Structure 1
Amino acid sequence: MKLAVVGGGSTYTPELIDGFARLRDTLPIEELVLVDPAADRLELVGGLARRIFAKQGHPGRIVTTSDLDAGVADADAVLLQLRVGGQAARNQDETWPLECGCVGQETTGAGGLAKALRTVPVVLDIAERVRRTNPDAWIIDFTNPVGIVTRALLQAGHKAVGLCNVAIGFQRKFARLLDVTPGEVHLDHVGLNHLTWELGVRLGGPDGENVLPKLLAEHGDAIADDLRMPRAIVDRLGVVPSYYLRYFYAHDEVVRELGTKPSRAAEVAAMEKELLAMYGDPALDEKPALLAKRGGAFYSEAAVDLASSLLGSGGTPVQVVNTYNRGTLPFLPDDAVIEVQARVDGTGATPLAVPELDPLYAGLIAHVTAYEDLALEAALRGGRDRVFEALLAHPLIGQFEYAEALTDKLIAHNREHLAWA
């Protein structure tokens, strides 16, 4: 089995490598190719990756290359984890929207749109190059904004599934609180990427006992603290929203906070510098503890589970993924991409049925889906008017004056990445 990781020079990658090494019986990789145009980073990450494999006794071969076509040739699956423009572009996404009083974040609001505009054309080019030589390869997308990127891939006819680590993070957290193994915890996870709610927490499987009321009663303070939301709000909802919902439920508070501290991108850039220095140490043969602060917790385990199910080597039958709606949420079109529990096998992902959603959640899902429709159109076809319409449609913006100003700022800060600008 051969896997390729596009964006393999990311400081995330040792987390992925550690999972591949630990879970080698689930996903028996013979060759792993790390692909990245940044040769200096790739050398550091690749060296640590080989040492991790060696320490844990993994027999697979790790190859590094900046040649995309060579790297993905004959791969059974290609994982995408790239960041067009790097942390510098992310820093812009997180700062210029604040000038208009709007949240600055890399996956939602104006910053999220900027990232989509930069990313979708690049990902589609990569996918086409994979398909030309390797049409049977699965594409697993971890590149944000996952929902929009995955929809672009699926609409173009690629064999693609989107992946996020939010659900597996909740699963592991709830398992600790309940003192059970993660495999015993099944989430009624519903929504769009970075716009989800845990409507139930079931023990033993999709039809198991719902222990969410017990979790909230006994651990509500800890859960609310992790979400950075008031306990009273979580109790009132009776569900556990993704921490990304704080951008919607407490938008103005978040904007005030972001205006008083360095951007997350600036923090991550400093962390990456330290991590890369560590990766260059020939004595280091495991992922460093600092990596946990970088983000992407449990990404490796989710990726192994998904890849092994798609490639027929094992994996959990039901997983949270991003895939076509196909009637699962009846108020959305079939080709909307949703993030829900799905049955995953060699044919792809089939969403499980979900109960009728309260309008409190369905309304916001429908609103953001409409924005994503316009965002994808802008990413595929370009043009100032399409950017403006997407911004005006976003529930975190929605005002003519803001949308006009943000359109100008977005184009000015991203001109080098927009072929049409």
Structure 2
Amino acid sequence: MFKKILIANRGEIALRVIRTCREMGIKTVAVYSTADKDSLHVKFADEAVCIGKPASADSYLNVAHIMAAAEITNADAIHPGYGFLAENSKFAKICGDHGIKFIGPTPEMINLMGDKVTAKETMIKAGVPVVPGVEGLLKDAAHAKWAANEIGYPVILKATAGGGGKGMRVVWNESEIEKNFDNAKTEAAASFKNDGIYMEKFVEEPRHIEIQVAGDQYGNVCHLSERDCSIQRRHQKLVEESPSPFMTDELRERMGDAAIKAAKAINYESVGTIEFLVDKHRNFYFMEMNTRIQVEHCVTEEVINYDLIKEQIKIAAGEKVSGKNYYPQMHAIECRINAEDPYNDFRPSPGKITVLHQPGGHGVRVDSHVYAGYVIPPYYDSMIAKLITVAQTREEACDTMYRALSEYVIEGVKTTIPFHLQLMQNEDFRSGNFTTKFLESFKMK
């Protein structure tokens, strides 16, 4: 087992990893930008190293600075968290080249799943259902028009190196192709320094359902059931839950089997997530694989009583996974608490938290790195907390969530708490009647 782990991340996920490491008797090293010097992950780690100025490129994406921090603190492993360098194969390789274990999959696995076109081809060979589309990248707008006619409208343009909805456009007819192709290409180049665009059939009325998997270095893979992530705004998840209210036992088995096939196709090692689109007829299609821990991993932890960070560390240290699949024993819901104004198009709201009271009680979990007096910097993702509730039934989990949200007090900045309070009382949400398009018609009161 590792003696010291450096966490190449910030905020709540860094603090989450530190907590598990402490339980396992592993020393930790926090890295931080000058903007994060007062963050809780810095205070709770055994050691902390400043790695640069506030901009991500100067700190959390600065591989040389992170590796230097690992060297001077004698860390024998690096946990990348999510975002930043978590799915960067070059970073994973550099760690290995320096004799430091990257807690995640190998660079080769990251590359296989990191490029959407390559990932889709790999899944087709493995027999995993994929969304109908054309092979390879689109050369130009004329090629895009031809492809759309082959597939049939509506279609969706996607950046091959994409994520978070960047470089993504839905096209309903031929007159919209050229403009959307050009816009997607430009946005992809700006966001990922890769303007490659591919095309798929647009799945209408979809659910976004993902399967958590864990694989070890010996070829063993298990799944840990599903999470429903359909409540999204501009392809950014706001609420996640397990089990999905749309799921049946038969569909869960089929999707679980497909996820295991997908992971075994690349001999996957570590925890990861296979993301699917599921249409209204419960046909499911591979969308992508996230070769890292997810923001919403806590939902799975609560319904099966399983520490995914601990499992990730143990796999990296060479231990085997259990080999059995896990199924939800409870119902859990997670609300992402973002420093955003839901009454003003979710505009970011950085600044100083003047008053903070976090909820508690039976069935309530808060993962957060903020406190009263903490200044939310404007340089990073706006998520400041994750509120998770767990109960015997979905109705009870919703009731507990509404109660917990009602207790949650954050003053000094705007947050998404009012949005979540209204969502928990929405009849369609409460009945499980929603798709990824749900928020397009949701109005704040």
Q: TM-score, normalised by structure 1?
A: 0.30
More strand by share: 2
Higher relative contact order (CA 8 A, sep 6+): 1
Q: TM-score, normalised by structure 2?
A: 0.29
